[in-house]
Amino acid sequence: MLGDDVLYATASELGQRLRLRQISPVELTESYLARIEALDPKLHAFVTPTPKLALEQARQAEKEIAAGKYRGPLHGLPYGVKDLLATKGIRTTWGARPFEGQTFDFDATVIERLRAAGAILLGKLAMIELAGGLGYSIPGASLTGATLNPWSLDRWTCGSSSGSGAAVSAGLASFAIGSETWGSIVCPSSFCGVSGIRPTFGRISRYGAMALSWTLDKLGPMARSAEDLDTLLAVLSGHDPLDDWSASEPPHRPLPPARAKGLKAALVRPDYSKGGEAEVGVTFDNAVTALKSAGMAIDEVKLPDLPFEEVATVMLTVEAASAFEDLFRDGRVRGLVDRASALAAGNARLVTGVDYVKASRIRTLCQKAMRDFFDKWDVLLTPGEPVTAFPANMSYEEAEKEQWPDPVGGMGNLCGLPAVSVPCGFAKNLPVGLCIVGGAFEEGKVLGVAKYFQTLTDWHRKRPPLA
Partner 1 sequence: MVSETKPQMTRREVGRLLLSVPAATLIIAEARADEGPSETAEFLAAHEPGLSPDERERLRKGFVDEEKALRVVREFNLAPNVTPSLRFHALASGK
Q: Per CB under 8 A, does 434 bind partner 1?
A: no
State which of residues 89, 250, 346, 465 lies at the interface with partner 1 (CB under 8 A). Answer: 346
Q: Per CB under 8 A, does 439 bind partner 1?
A: no
Cα angle 169, 259, 288 (rounded to 5 degrees) comes to 55
Q: Per CB under 8 A, does 168 bind partner 1?
A: no
CB of 185 to partner 1, least distance (A): 10
State which of residues 62, 277, 385, 442 lies at the interface with partner 1 (CB under 8 A). Answer: 385
Helix 11-19 vs helix 25-43: angle between axes, to the nearest 10 degrees?
150
State which of residues 22, 103, 289, 360 lies at the interface with partner 1 (CB under 8 A). Answer: 360
Q: Per CB under 8 A, does 313 bind partner 1?
A: yes
State which of residues 33, 291, 316, 432 lies at the interface with partner 1 (CB under 8 A). Answer: 316
State which of residues 305, 375, 458, 467 lies at the interface with partner 1 (CB under 8 A). Answer: 305
Under 8 Å between Cβ of 61 and 70? no
Q: Per CB under 8 A, does 420 bind partner 1?
A: no
User: CA 457 from chain center: how many Å?
Assistant: 22
**Residue of 184, 205, 237, 246 marked catalytic:** 184
CB atoms within 10 A of CB 402: 12
Nearest to 435 by CA among 249, 265, 316, 308: 265
Per CB under 8 A, contacts with partner 1 among 120-139 are 128, 131-138
Report phi then psi at 12, rounded to 5. Answer: -65, -45
Does 445 qualify as catalytic in the annotation? no
Under 8 Å between Cβ of 217 and 205? no
Q: Per CB under 8 A, does 145 bind partner 1?
A: no
Total binding residues for partner 1 by CB under 8 A?
73
User: CA 150 from chain center: how many Å?
Assistant: 16
Does 82 qualify as catalytic in the annotation? yes
**Residue of 160, 174, 179, 213 marked catalytic:** 160
Cβ distance to partner 1 smaller for residue 77 or 408? 408
Q: Per CB under 8 A, does 248 bind partner 1?
A: no
For 378-431, give the DSSP string: SEEEEES-SS---BTT--HHHHHH-----TTHHHHHHTT--EEEEEEEEETTEE
Instruction: Kindly list the distances between the CA atom of residue 317 and the CA atoms of 276, 310, 346, 370, 418, in Å, as whole numbers in the listed order.
Output: 25, 11, 10, 23, 22
Does 160 qualify as catalytic in the annotation? yes
Q: Per CB under 8 A, does 323 bind partner 1?
A: no
CB of 328 to partner 1, least distance (A): 8
Q: Per CB under 8 A, does 309 bind partner 1?
A: yes
| Long-range contacts formed by 360-366: CB under 8 A, 24+ apart | 360/315, 362/306, 362/307, 362/311, 363/311, 363/315, 363/414, 363/415, 365/306, 366/304, 366/306, 366/308, 366/311, 366/411, 366/414, 366/415
Q: Per CB under 8 A, does 371 bind partner 1?
A: no
Under 8 Å between Cβ of 430 and 388? yes
CB of 162 to partner 1, least distance (A): 9
User: Which span sits near partner 1 by CB under 8 A: 107-115, 399-407, 419-427, 444-452?
Assistant: 399-407
Q: Per CB under 8 A, does 165 bind partner 1?
A: no
Rg value, the chain, Cα: 21
User: Which span sits near partner 1 by CB under 8 A: 53-61, 100-108, 145-153, 339-347?
Assistant: 339-347
Mind telling me the catalytic residues?
82, 160, 184
